[in-house]
Amino acid sequence: MALSKRAYIKQISIYLENKEYEKSYPLAREMNENFPEDTMTHYLMASSAFWAGKYEESIEHGRKAFNMVKSKEDLIACALITSSSYYELKQYSEGFRMLKAVEKLKYSEDIETMMFVFSLALKDEKEAMKHAKNLQVLNAKLAEKLLKKFLKSSD
């Protein structure tokens, strides 16, 4: 017998929080079978698939959730998980495009950090510096740490 939608959400969230991805992924798949038209189903599927290393599946469900959500925060959350999967697949242009779609919704450390990383992956130094400066305004320590990390890795 299937769980209620609320029970699925709670249990999958607990598994993700505890980094029990080997448990969250199959449960998210089960939830997807029982609630295939639900936004939260697709978001949890995207997250669970990402942490299980199933990036293409994560993108599929992340995009579905992205197209279904209505709030700014939910759009951003979907864009972050989906773009992370694009990054893992080295599909930098697609990931950057996804982030660009939510960039103006909220001035966010997460978005600026990801856009900085994607800009470097795309070898667009001008764009990377723009996001490094934006991040500096939001969180100077994080920006400094990130820049040091990338400068060190380029040696």
Structural domain boundaries in the chain: 1-106, 108-155
Within 8 A by CB and 6+ apart from 62, the residues are 42, 43, 46, 50, 78, 81, 82, 85
CA dist 21 and 52 (Å) reads: 6
CB 60 within 8 A of CB 48: no
Amino acid sitting at position 87: Y
Model confidence over 24-35: pLDDT tens digits? Answer: 999 999 999 999
Contacts of 31 (CB under 8 A, 6+ apart): 3, 5, 8, 9, 12, 38, 41, 44, 45
Condensed to tens digits (0 to 9), the pLDDT of residues 75-100 reads 999 999 999 999 999 999 999 999 99
Q: What is the DSSP secondary-structure string of 30-46?
A: HHHHH-TT-HHHHHHHH
Give the pLDDT of residue 154.
60
At residue 148 the predicted structure's pLDDT band, cuts being 50, 70 and 90, is confident
- How sure is the predictor about 16, in pLDDT bands with cuts at 50, 70 and 90? very high
Out of 3.40.50.880, 1.25.40.10, 3.40.50.150, 3.90.1150.10, the CATH code matching 1-106 is 1.25.40.10
Mean pLDDT computed over 3-27: 96
Q: Is the pLDDT of residue 15 over 90?
A: yes
